[in-house]
Amino acid sequence: MQIWTSLNTLSYLFYYPFYSPLVKDVKNLVATKIISKNEPITKNNSKPAPDIFKNQNVEVIINSNAIEIISSAIALENGNIGEFIKIKLNGKILNAKVIKKGVVEIE
């Protein structure tokens, strides 16, 4: 069985000589195209998963002077930490900054 594994690895490298497979942990990746069964996961066919996904319920922190209000809303776009995304809060569409996974802030 060990011989088959090493032969399979050699054929894998032979078919995909120009793509270096990702050796790191691939838990937080999403596919950017359809990946075949024996195709390696590379930077060309995957990207890091966003911190907030479209249609996800998010916690909204609204800061105004010395008052802080916490509510929930629906994200209308994907977004990563530091980016501005559109959210739907009480039927109104607002821009909010992603401050951490599942949390946005309106100032």
**Same structural domain for residues 7 and 44?**
yes
pLDDT tens per residue across all 107 residues of the chain: 444 444 444 444 445 555 555 555 567 788 888 888 888 877 788 888 889 999 999 999 998 888 899 999 999 999 999 999 999 999 999 999 999 999 999 97
**Same structural domain for residues 62 and 100?**
yes
What SS3 state is found at 66? coil
**Same structural domain for residues 32 and 7?**
yes
**Structure token digits, residue 12:** 């894998």
**Same structural domain for residues 67 and 42?**
no
pLDDT for res 43: 78
**Same structural domain for residues 16 and 44?**
yes
**Same structural domain for residues 39 and 68?**
no
pLDDT for res 21: 57
The range of the structural domain enclosing residue 34 comes to: 2-48
Looking at residue 52, the DSSP 8-state letter turns out to be: B
**Same structural domain for residues 44 and 65?**
no
**Structure token digits, residue 9:** 């690895």
Number of independent structural domains in the chain: 2
What SS3 state is found at 11? helix
In terms of pTM, does the model score above 0.85?
Answer: no
CA distance 24 to 97: 29
**Same structural domain for residues 66 and 29?**
no
